[in-house]
Structure 1
Amino acid sequence: MSTTAGAPVPDAHALPVDQVLDRLGSSVKGLSAGAVADRLAEHGPNALPQAEQETWWQRLLRQFNDPMIYVLITAGVLTAIMGQVIDTAVIAAVVVINGLVGFIQEGKAADALESIRDMLSPESEVLRDGTWVQVPSEELVPGDVVKLRAGDKIPADLRLLEAASLRTEESALTGESLTAEKSLAAVDEAAGVGDRPSMVFSGTTVAAGSGVGVVAVTGAGTEIGRITGMIQDVEQVETPLTKAMGKFSSIIAVIALVLAVLMVLVSWLLYRTGWADLLMSAIGFAVAAIPEGLPAVMAITLALGVQKMAGQNAITRRMNSVETLGSVTTICSDKTGTLTRNEMTVQHVLTRAHTYQVSGVGYAPEGSVAVDGEPAALAEHRDLALIAEVAAYANDSAVRQTEDGAWKLAGEPTDGGIKVFALKTGCEDNGSRLATVPFDSEHKYMATLDDLDGDVFLHLKGAPDRLLDRSSAQISADGSTEPLDRAFWEDAVDELGGHGLRVLAAARRDATHADRVSNADVDEGEFTFIGLYGIIDPPREEAIEAVRIVQDAGIRVRMITGDHASTATAIAKEVGIADGRTITGPELESASDEDLQRIVADTTVYARTSPEHKLRLVQALQRNGEVVAMTGDGVNDAPSLKQADVGVAMGVKGTEATKDAADIVLADDNFATISRAVSMGRNIYDNLKKAIVFMLPTNGAQGLVIFVAMLLGMTLPITPLQVLWVNLITAVTLSLALSFEPAEPDIMKRKPRDPDASFLDSEAILRILYVSLLLGGATTLVFEWAISAGAQLDVARTWAVNTLVMGQVFYLFTARFSRVSALRKELFTTNPISWLCVGAMLVLQLAFVYLPFAQVAFQTTAVSLQSWLLSVTVGAVIFAAVEVDKALRRGAETRRATV
């Protein structure tokens, strides 16, 4: 580390103020203009690094980076060289449409770093040459002295020189929901960001109080700067769908090219076919074998999934993430606001005589107070009335009901929880406040002098140890006073804290109108200790059920939070995810990458974590083969969200930087929404697989028809343009129908699918093969029968195309149900869109056959009703064949189960 005066001091939190100033070559009087200029030239501006953005044309070109598209482009170039204008135009249209669909759906990639830069303060009040001046924050240098007031954005990482009741909002950086209290004392060098009260950090906000600090670190060296560096270093993880479809596309493209070359060689060697005919046949075969409609079907299916998820409060920013959710094996969740309500609630109230249970959660004053299971009334419980009185009067918060019926807090969350407790007892602030001592981080209490119908009392609320120091008596069961039993209260504080509760205390003493309240008055007065409030941010009820659902689906839930270990453990137990000890940040710090892989295999709760810890945890899980969904709301979560397979940001309390780094944004910050999104992700994968198993037999049949015709020296039963027609209308009608299939009943009872597993299992491959043979064989036979009956070539080819289309229609009906019989009422009731798609397909096919311009473009002609009946018969045979196959498989499974 450099010791040059003016160099940054990243360990300023661990050093006394005078030593920090000495290291920085500064003083409480700030810097001179000359020193600032020198340091600005040496260290550069106080700004975050810029990241490269993907241009629109780079994003557009990326849409065509697919082996199947390469084959189509090659086919288009060859037809253009051969002068086949219509063929070239149709192939080009297919390629361009597929590219535009992906381009439009993906949208402009957001820049998380730009959002973080927006968090920084544009100007700062700095002491230069002995005078306070406003300067652009980018011009701050190490050693500058900066003034802070409530509402200010903090421009750099500052070591505090002065702090007057200073509290900062650091949740975006630390993940803690409560404001951070600041003081001047140095702390251990190993202390995490959330445990450095002597520091304030760039990008956070002054919530209350005022202060003065010296700039210790600027720009990329700040905590928020380190996070931006981590975001830049994180590589985007390839989704399971992208990997699977990449392999699938490559295999299909290679098979199509190999068979096309084989077909050309055999036809040329055996039949001496001309090169022009050979090339057109090869192009027709490539177009037939390539499922060019598949990218469009994938894009549409994912886009529909995006729409459905948006209706369930899950807004998807990257389409592939919809499907990736279906592969997730572990969910790393934040605690505050995701698993919990982010509303501090008093659950227990302890006096010397009783322990009261408080029902109701959140800021709605709905609930009751009970003791030993019976309602507790203020008139019958003097101790309860007194502790409720302190909660009502020593409080600056308020709760109000909005027009939509929701209750909103104005003030500090902890104050709000105590205020709501008072309202639940029926105690309201009906007196008048004469004076107040605001809460500050040094004294850790709040005092108010209040007139209650002519009687004046000094109410005191704050940290239990500070109030015990100022108390000499306590309230007994009947409301009288008795000597203070400090040991009892210290044990009670430990017990409540051990259950993850935040503990505050209440005390009071008699006063008069002549009293003036200050810290000195409070310190000198002897109070009567009343009792303790046990406060917690309670878990969402729906989150508990959602955790159970995803666990039943084979997904492990892990909590990673910046909160304290006791609080994290308590919430984890309540929601059902604690299955061992809680690991803390310091333990993660000392663990090697190999140790961390072993730790994450068995541990579900992590507390006091930093951004680096979260990122390492996600990476360790991924090295263990897990597909990770990570939730977060603060800037500190952005690197791990970008690293995760699916990053999930909170839409309500999340920072813009976190949302930009995420794949999915939750509009309601609710874990239950993640559970629903996982279910939809699995459903989308099922529907994509059904669509592929449905589409490929069309390509297989068409390829088979051309391949056999060329090998046997036959006239082609269908032309390349007719092949494209069938592929396209099948993709935009029948295949699209499968995108609307509802989830199967057992979808959240299955284990997560292996992301490395083949996209198509042996059962799917076998079905594709035999349906391809049935469709291709029937098409060839119908064509040959028509030719032998004396039909013209265009008539026979029209019959052949109609046979392909009707075979696909009947195959759709059975393909909607992968394993069970399609002969059920759900065929007609669960997906009405499928019937609309079938109707659209038939209308398009009738236009293909009977409209004059279509007849010219595709070389078709009008045909008789007899030919249509023949095509329908072929479709019915294919339907029956698949149904028999499914019945045989179900029977085999039943027999295996009974053995």
Structure 2
Amino acid sequence: MSQFKKSFVESAVKNYSPNGLTSDQVKTKLELFGENSFVKEKLTSWKTFCKQFINPLNFILIFAAVLSAFMEDYSGTIIIMTIVILNSVLSFVQEYRSGKAVEKLSELIERKVLVIRDSEQVLIDVHQLVPGDTIILRAGDIVPADLKIMESSNLSVNESQLTGESVPVSKGCAHKDLNTTLLFSGSVIERGQCQCVVYATGNQTELGKIALLSKDTKKVTQYQKSLTEFSFSILRMIGATIVLMLSAKIISIHSANDLAEVMLFTIALAMTVVPEALPMITTINLSYGALQLAKQKVIVKRLSAIEDLGRVNILCTDKTGTLTQDCLTIKEIISEDKEFFQKLAYASIEDLNVKNKKYVTSFDRAFLQYIPKSIKAQVEDWVQVNSLPFDPAARRRRVIVKNPYENTSYLVVIGSPETLLSLSQTNDSQNFNQLIVQSGKQGMRQLAIAYKQIDYCSEFDILSNEKDLIFLGFAKLLDPLRKTAKATINQAKELGITVKILTGDSLEVAAYIGKEIGLVQDGEKIYSGNEVEKMTDLQLDKAIKECSVFARVTPEQKYNIIKRLKLNNVVGYQGDGINDAPSLKLADVAVAVHNATDVAKDSADIVLLEDELKVIVDGIRYGRSIFVNINKYIKHAMIGNIGNFFSLAFFYVAFSADVPMLPIQLLIGNLIQDMPLMSVFSDSVDDEEVSKPQVVSQVKSLMKTSLGLGIFTAVYYLAYFMLVGTEANALTQTNLFLFYNFTQLLVIISVRSKNFFWKGTKPSRLLLGSVVFFMALSVALTYIPFTADFMGFTPLPLTDFATLSIVTGVFIFLLDLAKVALNSFQTNILARKANNLVRSTKI
């Protein structure tokens, strides 16, 4: 350890006070050391803007502008550079907004820490920690700064973020090695509790000094890979076509100007089909979607998690809080000494004297509401002298309480009644077990208390003395089902989502809940953790396929179930405890509620601000709708742009000595055709489109379908060319400009639904308004004298405009017929394949 670091530790220890800092000291230290956060280099607005110009498409357009200037076509140069600047500005605005959206979402996820200030325990935001603060940590907490341990009990810490070793390390205030008395920022408290003093915050921590600063590593999802593959497929197709076109036109090139003209047209034509707006449209949809999900109480920690959320087809959850109201009410206490039961229960409540409770549980809240004031007054001065937090594997919590009036101490064990009965001496265990089963069948949860009087001293070991207990009894608690629970399960089924409950509750309680919400039918098997433990992998695979509810499962068993489910499914898992962290990291989509432990929220991809299963299911549906809208752009690009590209390329080679449209007309048209797609994020989607998880990963199938419709579009366009004439003049070019814009702007109205466009959901006002506006803008450009002269247009005669309108209407109608027929054909093929698979499985 460096001398500099030692001085920090020694200074903190020297000034340590169990009563914590005063408000004035905190204010002074905040001004001196700043907030407890990593100061990362921020990408300024100017840098973000400049970055937009550095991409291959802009370089190609700038090259085209230079060629245009070489030919002394300065108006073309101005327009091309205007397009470059406009594209860059639009990209900058969207990237800037996206960044702000992510920042806004991250601010919604609170992380609090328990500190002692002004002699009181209070909860503060972790960013407000300063060196010298006295901090209290327990199992499930993430260490928020570098700390020196001053008091500890049974402390075990995971430091894998620094060492790479996931094996927990024993730490404590009494250790001789200085490093084992220190806790480092980012570590996870796996067991026990401690009271520490902060000696370094922010960039001064060990984590702040090393390369493991950022957790924002970009995860390339399957959908993003599909989009990249789509883009490269288009580029390969463009490259091959352009080579053939240039080879065919080489004989007509007689001068440098001819070569420049052909190159300009080729570049402009390529730009019409390159999906340059795809990254921007994807970003817009994801960032807007993330903000909309936030309004639905779903906070996405990374934008790419939206894809994973949409692909989920199995959702594993504990019933507590998501299916039930997580509002326990004590209905009855079964005990021979109910008053003493309540005294021990009240004296054992965690953080009884903390005003802003971080660790209060639903069980504690139930006892606080149930126990009368007279009993509370009798134990108000009882002291908790030692404790071990709840252990999910052991299914119990241990507390040592002292009665100062009688100078007696008790070891109190609180947990599942089955577990405590096995640790206790009682002659009535059979009767207790019967009562437990009966209450479980009524949907009641149980919390038992066992105890023994002890002679407490500082060396007293709780675990070794946890035997020969007296079973005092148990409380029957009701956690009512949410009114939306059954409807949510039905909604999940409609979305192709299988819900599985993995709970620590008893078999009887789990069965009651499962039947009430329609997840378990009469006679259906429910497996317990003990049964799961004895299963082979093959037996477990069969069980998780047939069973929807697993009871009394340990965190390790949950992990194993999710591991087996992931072999053939996309699995979402909702957990909130420290022992849920491995399962959360394993799941394809990790979901934690807002009041989960720090480590659970840190492991999660998605944080729920409202702990209800309906929120997750609604989030999955909305996540799918986001990708349906992105896919609309892909269909638009494949059908409209490819039809445009191939028809013009073929027309230029086969019929026209001159370019059929000017390069600036092509580039302006391409910009106009893409602009309405920026508003596709606001569009509504058909229920059929979001009913299957495959909607998120169907890019390849979309490409095949859309390519077929793109060929139809190319043939129709060629037929229209023959109708308007093959001579390249201002009238023909204006006609083609309007025809391309009208048809491609209306393509989105057709492809946004698998059904006939008039039968699908209505398009959003923003999308429809954008289409109408840019159709009107296209017409205006050809009639306004300045733009018409600048871009080489001439006003169309009324008869030509009427013909254009009719041909456009016929095109959209025929495209819609072809689309429905092709979708029906593909559906029949998939149905046959599914039937054949079923037959082969039976054989």
When normalised by structure 1's length, the TM-score is 0.62
Determine the structure 2 residue equivalent to 1:804: 740
Determine the structure 2 residue equivalent to 1:832: 765
1:852 equivalent to 2:836? Answer no
Instruction: From 447, 455, 458, give the equivalent of 1:503.
Output: 447
Deviations 1:696-730 (A, max 9, x none): 33322332343124313433232222222222222
Instruction: From 770, 781, 785, give the equivalent of 2:722.
Output: 781
2:299 counterpart SS class: strand
Gaps of 5+ in 1: 1-29, 32-47, 125-135, 141-145, 174-188, 353-382, 400-407, 451-457, 469-483, 508-516, 521-526
Determine the structure 1 residue equivalent to 2:251: 269
Of structures 1 and 2, the larger Rg is shown by 1
Instruction: From 419, 428, 437, give the equivalent of 2:382.
Output: 437
Amino acid at match of 2:732: A
Determine the structure 2 residue equivalent to 1:11: none
CA distance in 2, matches of 1:116, 1:99: 28
The alpha-carbon distance between structure 1 residues 821 and 705, as it changes in their structure 2 partners (threshold 3 A), is closer
Amino acid at match of 1:865: L
Aligned length: 724
Determine the structure 1 residue equivalent to 2:264: 280
1:315 counterpart SS class: strand
Amino acid at match of 1:238: V
Determine the structure 1 residue equivalent to 2:802: 869
Output aligned runs, 1:236-635, within 5 Å: 236-269=218-251, 272=254, 274-331=258-315, 333=317, 337-338=321-322, 341-346=325-330, 349-350=333-334, 413-421=362-370, 429=374, 433=378, 436-438=381-383, 444=399, 463=413, 486-488=428-430, 491=433, 495=437, 501-505=445-449, 531-535=473-477, 540=482, 542=484, 545-557=487-499, 576=519, 580-582=527-529, 608-609=554-555, 624=567, 626-631=569-574
Determine the structure 1 residue equivalent to 2:667: 724
Normalized per residue, the structure richer in helix is 2
Amino acid at match of 1:418: F
Instruction: From 752, 770, 793, give the equivalent of 2:712.
Output: 770
Aligned 8 A contact 1:679 1:747 in 2: no
Determine the structure 2 residue equivalent to 1:376: none
CA distance in 2, matches of 1:49, 1:738: 37
The alpha-carbon distance between structure 1 residues 71 and 327, as it changes in their structure 2 partners (threshold 3 A), is farther
Aligned 8 A contact 1:849 1:860 in 2: yes
Amino acid at match of 1:744: D
Determine the structure 2 residue equivalent to 1:27: none
Deviations 1:809-849 (A, max 9, x none): 5434433332x22344x67x563334322331233123312
Determine the structure 1 residue equivalent to 2:85: 93
2:702 counterpart SS class: coil
Aligned 8 A contact 2:114 2:358 in 1: no
Determine the structure 2 residue equivalent to 1:379: none
Output aligned runs, 1:695-706, within 5 Å: 695-706=637-648
1:504 counterpart SS class: strand
Identity of paired residues, percent?
19
Aligned 8 A contact 1:291 1:727 in 2: no
Determine the structure 2 residue equivalent to 1:40: none
Instruction: From 625, 641, 645, give the equivalent of 1:683.
Output: 625
Aligned 8 A contact 1:738 1:816 in 2: no
CA distance in 2, matches of 1:560, 1:232: 33
The alpha-carbon distance between structure 1 residues 467 and 157, as it changes in their structure 2 partners (threshold 3 A), is farther
1:760 counterpart SS class: helix
CA distance in 1, matches of 2:471, 2:756: 73
CA distance in 2, matches of 1:641, 1:681: 19
Deviation, 1:248, is 0.7
CA distance in 1, matches of 2:637, 2:696: 23
Instruction: From 788, 799, 821, give the equivalent of 2:756.
Output: 821
CA distance in 2, matches of 1:171, 1:348: 39
Aligned 8 A contact 1:462 1:505 in 2: yes
CA distance in 2, matches of 1:809, 1:412: 57
Output aligned runs, 1:157-306, within 5 Å: 236-269=218-251, 272=254, 274-306=258-290
Aligned 8 A contact 2:333 2:475 in 1: yes
CA distance in 1, matches of 2:771, 2:135: 71
2:688 counterpart SS class: coil
Gaps of 5+ in 2: 1-12, 15-35, 118-128, 160-165, 388-397, 419-425, 458-468, 836-843
Deviation, 1:793, is 2.4
Deviation, 1:602, is 8.9
Deviation, 1:237, is 3.0
Amino acid at match of 2:80: T
1:741 equivalent to 2:674? Answer no
Deviation, 1:270, is 5.5
Aligned 8 A contact 2:651 2:718 in 1: no
1:758 equivalent to 2:705? Answer no
1:860 counterpart SS class: coil
Amino acid at match of 2:669: V
CA distance in 1, matches of 2:400, 2:287: 54
Aligned 8 A contact 1:240 1:756 in 2: no
CA distance in 2, matches of 1:161, 1:568: 40
CA distance in 2, matches of 1:806, 1:308: 32
CA distance in 1, matches of 2:781, 2:648: 21
CA distance in 2, matches of 1:625, 1:66: 39
The alpha-carbon distance between structure 1 residues 667 and 804, as it changes in their structure 2 partners (threshold 3 A), is same
CA distance in 1, matches of 2:170, 2:226: 41
Amino acid at match of 1:254: R
Give the stretch that moved more between structures: 722-731 or 290-299: 290-299
2:447 counterpart SS class: strand
CA distance in 1, matches of 2:505, 2:211: 27
2:794 counterpart SS class: coil
Instruction: From 637, 646, 650, give the equivalent of 1:708.
Output: 650
The alpha-carbon distance between structure 1 residues 635 and 727, as it changes in their structure 2 partners (threshold 3 A), is farther
CA distance in 2, matches of 1:465, 1:858: 80
Determine the structure 1 residue equivalent to 2:612: 670
Deviation, 1:665, is 3.5
Give the stretch that moved more between structures: 342-351 or 859-868: 342-351
The alpha-carbon distance between structure 1 residues 776 and 210, as it changes in their structure 2 partners (threshold 3 A), is closer
Amino acid at match of 2:799: Q
Deviations 1:305-338 (A, max 9, x none): 2343232122345444334422234445577655
2:627 counterpart SS class: helix
The alpha-carbon distance between structure 1 residues 658 and 489, as it changes in their structure 2 partners (threshold 3 A), is closer
Deviations 1:777-818 (A, max 9, x none): 42x235427x5xxxx922321121111222235434433332
1:793 equivalent to 2:720? Answer no
Deviation, 1:263, is 0.9
Deviation, 1:81, is 6.9
The alpha-carbon distance between structure 1 residues 670 and 105, as it changes in their structure 2 partners (threshold 3 A), is farther
Deviation, 1:763, is 2.8
